[in-house]
Amino acid sequence: MIGPQEVDELFPTSLPPQKELVLKKLTTASEALKRREWAHEINVNEPFENFHDLVPEMAMQFPFELDTFQKQAVYHLEMGDSVFIAAHTSAGKTVVADYAIALATKHMTKAIYTSPIKALSNQKFRDFKHTFGDDVGILTGDVQIKPEASCLVMTTEILRSMLYRGADLIRDVEFVIFDEVHYVNDLERGVVWEEVIIMLPAHVNIILLSATVPNTREFAGWVGRTKKKDIYVISTMKRPVPLEHYLYANRDIYKIVAANENKISTIGYKKAQDAMTKRKEQIEKSSGNSNTRGGRGGRGGAVSRGGGKPIGRSYHAAMQSDRNLFVHLIGMLKTKSLLPVVIFTFSKKRCEEYASGLSKTDLCSNLEKSEIHVFIERSLVRLRGSDKHLPQILRMRELMSRGIAVHHGGLLPIMKEIVEILFARGLIKVLFATETFAMGVNMPARCVVFSSIRKHDGRNFRDLLPGEYTQMSGRAGRRGLDSTGVVIIATGGDEPPEASTLSTMILGKPTKLESQFRLTYNMILNLLRVEALKVEEMIKRSFSENSTQKLLPDTKRLVDENEQKKSALRQLDCAICEPDIERFYDVCGEVVYLNRTMITQFITATPVGNRALCMGRLVVINTNVYRNAPALILKPLPSSANSQHRSFYCLVLLDKNLDISDTPNLDETPPLPITEICTPEEGNSETEIITVPAPDILFITRLSLKIDADAIMAGKDNNLDMVKAVQELQSFGADAKKGGIVEYDWGKIKDVEFQEMLRSKNSLMKKLRSEFQCTKCPELKEHYSLIHAHKRLSSQIEMLKMTISDQNLELLPDYHQRIEILRRLNYIDDQGTVQLKGRVACEINSADELLLTELVLDNVFADFEPAEVVAILSCFVFQERNASEPRLTPKLTKGKEVVLTYARKLAELQAECGLAISVEDYVASFRFELVEVVYEWARGLPFKHITDLTDVLEGSIVRCITRLDETCREVMGAARMVGDTSLYKKMEQAEQDIKRDIVFAASLYF
Query: Which residues, other chains included, contact 103 with Cβ-Cβ below 8 Å and sequence gap of 6+?
Result: 59, 60, 77, 78, 111, 174, 175
Q: Above 50 in pLDDT, residue 509?
A: yes
Most confident option among 24-33, 138-147, 618-627, 675-684: 138-147
The phi, psi pair for 168, rounded to 5°, reads: -60, -35
Q: Which residue, among 897, 923, 899, has the nearest Cα to 910 in the 3D structure?
A: 923
In degrees, rounded to 5, the angle at the alpha carbon of residue 646 between the alpha carbons of residues 645 and 651 is 145
CA distance 852 to 336: 57
Res. 298: pLDDT tops 80 = no
Domain assignment of residue 803, yes or no: no
User: Over the stretch 716-727, which tens digit does the pLDDT of each residue have?
Assistant: 656 787 888 888
At 327-356, the pLDDT tens digits run 999 999 999 999 999 999 999 999 999 999
Cis bond before residue 12 (omega within 30° of 0)? no
pLDDT in the model for residue 640 = 58
Instruction: Identify the CA nearest to 362 among candidates 334, 323, 321, 390.
Output: 334
pLDDT attached to residue 12: 35
User: Do residues 385 and 450 make contact, with C-beta atoms less than 8 angstroms apart?
Assistant: no
Q: Is residue 704 part of a domain?
A: yes
Whether 669 and 767 map to the same domain: the answer is: yes
* Better-predicted residue by pLDDT, 531 or 6: 531
More confident residue, 237 or 924: 924
User: Higher pLDDT residue, 175 or 813?
Assistant: 175
Domain end point (choices 507, 534, 568) = 507
* Beta-bridge partners for 973: none
Per the omega criterion (within 30 degrees of 0), is the bond before 340 cis? Answer: yes
Q: In percent, how much of the chain has pLDDT > 90?
A: 49
Output the domain CATH number for residue 161: 3.40.50.300
In degrees and rounded to multiples of 5, residue 927 shows phi and psi of -110, 130
Measured between alpha carbons, how far is 285 from 235 in angstroms, rounded to an integer?
A: 54
pLDDT, residue 24, reads 36
For the stretch 949-977, pLDDT in tens is 999 999 999 999 999 999 999 999 999 99
pLDDT given at position 825 = 96
Considering the domain architecture, whether residues 410 and 478 belong to the same structural domain is answered as no
Residue 408: per-residue pLDDT:
93
Q: How many CB atoms lie within 10 A of CB 915?
A: 16
State mean pLDDT over 380-403: 93
Q: Is 530 exposed, middle or buried (0-12, 13-18, 19+ CB in 10 A)?
A: middle
More confident call, 171 vs 670 = 171
For residue 824, being part of any structural domain is answered with no
CB of 179 closer than 8 Å to CB of 115? yes
Q: Which ranges of 709-778 would DSSP assign to H, the alpha helix?
A: 709-714, 720-737, 752-770
pLDDT of 312 > 70? The answer is no
Write down the pLDDT at residue 800: 74
In a domain, 779, yes or no: no
Q: What is the percentage of the chain residues whose pLDDT exceeds 70?
A: 86
150 and 275 in a common domain: no
Strands 617-621 and 629-636: antiparallel
pLDDT in tens, 239-254: 888 999 999 988 889 9
CA distances from 122 to 117, 136, 437, 1000 (A): 9, 12, 14, 14
Domain harbouring 964, CATH code: 1.10.3380.30
Q: Are 82 and 206 in contact (CB under 8 A)?
A: yes
Give the model's confidence band at 921: pLDDT under 50 very low, under 70 low, under 90 confident, else very high.
very high
* pLDDT tier for residue 458 given thresholds of 50, 70 and 90: confident
- What is the average pLDDT across 279-302? 55
Rounded Cα–Cα distance for residues 670 and 15 (Å): 66
Give the residue numbers spanning the domain of 118: 36-236
- pLDDT of residue 14 exceeding 60, the answer is no
Q: What are phi and psi of 433, to 5 degrees?
A: -135, 150
How confident is the model at residue 262, as a pLDDT?
85
Q: How many CB atoms lie within 10 A of CB 276?
A: 21
pLDDT category of residue 311 using cuts at 50, 70 and 90:
very low
CA distance 515 to 523: 16
Round the CA-based radius of gyration of the chain to a whole number and report it.
38
pLDDT of residue 280: 77
- Nearest CA to 42 among 272, 200, 233? 233
Q: What does the pLDDT read at residue 3?
A: 46
The last residue of a domain, from among 721, 750, 771: 771
Mean pLDDT value across residues 286-293: 54
Instruction: Look up the pTM and report it.
Output: 0.75
Q: Please indicate, yes or no, whether residues 388 and 314 belong to a single structural domain of this protein.
A: no
Rounded alpha-carbon distances, angstroms, from residue 568 to 233, 572, 789, 888: 44, 13, 11, 79
Cα 282 from chain centre: 48
Three-state DSSP state, 653: strand
Question: In this predicted structure, which of 34-38, 577-581, 610-614, 633-637 has the lowest mean pLDDT?
Answer: 34-38
Would 1005 be classed as within a structural domain?
Answer: no
Look at residue 165 and tell me if it is in a domain: yes
Average pLDDT over residues 529-548: 84
Q: Which helix (H) or strand (E) holds 485?
A: strand 485-489
Pairing of strands 629-636, 647-655: antiparallel
Residue 642: predicted pLDDT: 56
Please say if the pLDDT value at position 995 is more than 50: yes
Closest CA to 97 of 79, 85, 81, 109: 85
Sign of the C-alpha dihedral computed for residues 378, 384, 386 and 391 taken in this order: negative
> For 294-381, where are the alpha helices, taking DSSP H only?
315-335, 348-356, 366-380
Nearest to 867 by CA among 930, 932, 929, 939: 939
CA distance 395 to 352: 10
The count of structural domains within the chain is 5
In a domain, 267, yes or no: yes
How large is the average pLDDT for residues 452-466?
86
pLDDT at 299: 38
Last residue of a domain, one of 742, 771, 800: 771
- Kind of pairing, strands 454-456 and 461-463? antiparallel
Higher per-residue pLDDT: 210 or 565: 210
Contact 612, 744 (CB under 8 A): yes
User: Do 322 and 175 sit in the same domain of this protein?
Assistant: no
How far is it, in rounded angstroms, from Cα 955 to Cα 130?
Answer: 28
φ, ψ for residue 915 (rounded to 5)? Answer: -70, 140
CA distances from 323 to 329, 354, 707 (A): 10, 6, 83
Q: Work out whether strand 252-257 and strand 243-249 pair parallel, antiparallel, or are unpaired.
A: antiparallel
Q: Are 855 and 884 part of one and the same domain?
A: yes
Residue 287 has pLDDT above 70, yes or no: no
The confidence score (pLDDT) of residue 852 equals 97
Cα separation, 969 vs 973, whole angstroms: 6
CA distance 345 to 350: 7
- Give the dihedral sign, CA 683/686/692/696: negative
The dihedrals phi and psi of 881, each to the nearest 5 degrees, come to: -100, 170
pLDDT at position 412 is 94
Q: How many whole angstroms separate alpha carbon 168 and alpha carbon 178?
A: 20
CA 810 to each of CA 197, 512, 532, 917, 969: distance values in angstroms, whole numbers, following the listed order: 20, 21, 22, 17, 35
On whether both 855 and 733 belong to a single domain, the answer is no
Residue 903 in this model has a pLDDT that exceeds 70? yes
Average pLDDT, the chain: 85
Find out whether 251 and 240 touch, Cβ atoms under 8 Å: no
C-alpha span between 200 and 221 (Å, rounded) = 16
Amino acid at 27: T
Residue range 499-524: average pLDDT? 91
Strand 617-621 and strand 430-433: pairing? Answer: unpaired
CA distance 345 to 342: 9
- Range 155-175 average pLDDT: 92
| 407 φ, ψ (degrees, to nearest 5) | -145, 110
Taking 50 as the threshold, does the pLDDT of residue 19 lie above it?
no
Residues 615 and 757 in one domain: yes
Q: Backbone phi, then psi, for 542, in 5-degree steps?
A: -70, 160
Q: Which amino acid is at 603?
A: I
Q: Say if residue 731 is in the same domain as residue 588.
A: yes
Q: Any idea what DSSP says for residue 716?
A: -
Of 271 and 641, the structure prediction assigns the larger pLDDT to: 271
pLDDT band at 211 (very low <50, low <70, confident <90, very high): confident
**C-alpha distances in angstroms, 816 versus 729, 811, 823, 824, 850?**
59, 9, 10, 12, 17
pLDDT of residue 8: 38
Q: Is there a domain that residue 861 lies in? A: yes
Same domain for 231 and 326, yes or no, is: no
> Does one domain contain both 379 and 446?
no
Q: What pLDDT is recorded for position 666?
A: 42
Q: How much is the pLDDT for 414?
A: 94
Residues 384, 450 within the same domain: no
According to the model, what pLDDT value does residue 18 have? 36
